[in-house]
Amino acid sequence: MRAPTHPRGSRRGARLYRHLAAGLLAALLGMGGGLGAADAAAASAAAEPYRLQVADVVEISVFGHPDTTFPDVPVAPDGKLYYLFGNGVPAAGRTPAEVSRDLAAGLTELFPDPRVTVVPTEFARNVFMVHGKIRSPGVYPLNTPTTLRQGIARAGGIAQGTYRATTVEIASLRESYVLRGGRKLDVDLERLIGGNDASKDVVLEPGDIVFIASGLGKSAEIFVLGAVQQPRAMAYTDGLTLVGALAGGAADQGGTTGQADLDEVVVVRGPLANPQPTVVSLKKILAGKAQDIYLLPGDLVYVPPKPLQFSRELAKEAVRVFVRSFASAAGTQLVEDVLFPDSSTTTP
């Protein structure tokens, strides 16, 4: 008796089944290899530390010194982080740990064996930056479609200043620009803002940097006087702040003396005949409890050696010190006889 045989169609079905099974097995093996490669790539990416970029925001602190915590420090457009009195530390393209080590190295004169922590809190892919002559420079979230003009408005608008008791435009829209990916966009801010030409507006993208340039001359001066290491006139530069002015100068010129009253620093602005003083607590600024202030050309920064009760007394003393330091004896007499004739204080 002959063994039973499969019909021709059944043999073709069996071969087809074997081919399909082999193909499925190969596909499964290939899929397994692909998933393994993807997992390896993901693991490698997870192991790679994050590298900072321009417009990222970080929190910086020195361990054991709570008053040194600054929660919102942006990576500046030049790629650096600026913290306390130190020079800018390169940050863009580097890990937080690398930046921490450089910051710590620059703080060894202020703290014994400082341990600096740098923690990213906002990332450039979700934000844009506005800085320069703007009322509230900083980093802003980009959660909804935002145009350039809307972004400037969110930052408070273009800043104006008071120079010699007169309100002046301190921004140069012609020199202002928008950076995207390290390149300037072809945007005419002078026509957009100054001429209110909406056709020049553009939609901001994550990581964009809006810079409002200064319209002030670079040759103007400010004056740093009082209980400082070296009373001096110094050149005004765009973006100069009170802390920057007191820390600036040569190594033997910057800083205040041990007799300085850091709670009553006065910035005198306006004509000498009618000075407008602003009393600032430098101690709170250094502790991160108050915002640093921008200076303008012609400002007098006076650090008193002892507390004075009234801002008018501070203004008088600041003007006296200015005249004694940078003018003549006749000018000193002018202060006593003309500018403050009601003063009973004797000039030393």
282 — pLDDT class (breaks 50, 70, 90): very high
249 — pLDDT class (breaks 50, 70, 90): low
At residue 319, the 3 state secondary structure works out as: helix
At residue 99, the 3 state secondary structure works out as: helix
Note the pLDDT tens digit of each residue in 6-52.
444 444 444 444 544 445 444 444 444 444 544 544 444 456 788 99
Note the pLDDT tens digit of each residue in 182-217.
789 999 998 999 889 999 999 999 889 899 987 765
Paired with 117 in beta bridges are: 61
Rg over CA atoms, the chain: 32
Note the pLDDT tens digit of each residue in 155-190.
999 987 654 444 556 788 888 999 887 789 999 998
**Tell me, what's the pLDDT at 318?**
63
Q: Which two tokens stand for residue 13?
A: 């079905």
> Mean pLDDT over residues 237-265, rounded?
77
State pTM to two decimals: 0.42
Distance in angstroms (rounded) separating the CA atoms of residues 11 and 29:
27
**Tell me, what's the pLDDT at 125?**
75
More confident residue, 275 or 297: 297
Paired with 178 in beta bridges are: 210
**Tell me, what's the pLDDT at 171?**
81
Please provide residue 29's backbone torsions phi and psi, each rounded to the nearest 5 degrees. Answer: -65, -40
Distance in angstroms (rounded) separating the CA atoms of residues 21 and 14:
10
Of 30-34, 105-109, 325-329, give the lowest mean pLDDT range.
30-34
Distance in angstroms (rounded) separating the CA atoms of residues 238 and 223:
15
51 Cβ neighbours under 8 A, 6+ residues apart: 93, 94, 95
More confident residue, 138 or 170: 138
> Mean pLDDT over residues 126-155, rounded?
89
- AA identity, residue 341: P
At residue 320, the 3 state secondary structure works out as: helix
Q: Give me the domains of the chain, ranges plus CATH numbers.
A: 57-121 (3.30.1950.10), 125-214 (3.10.560.10), 221-339 (3.10.560.10)
More confident residue, 215 or 316: 215
The Cβ of residue 226 has, within 10 Å, a number of other Cβ atoms equal to: 24
Task: Give one word for 246, left, alpha or beta, with left for phi > 0 and alpha for psi -120 to 50.
Answer: alpha
Between the ranges 3-7, 271-275, 329-333, where is the mean pLDDT highest? 271-275
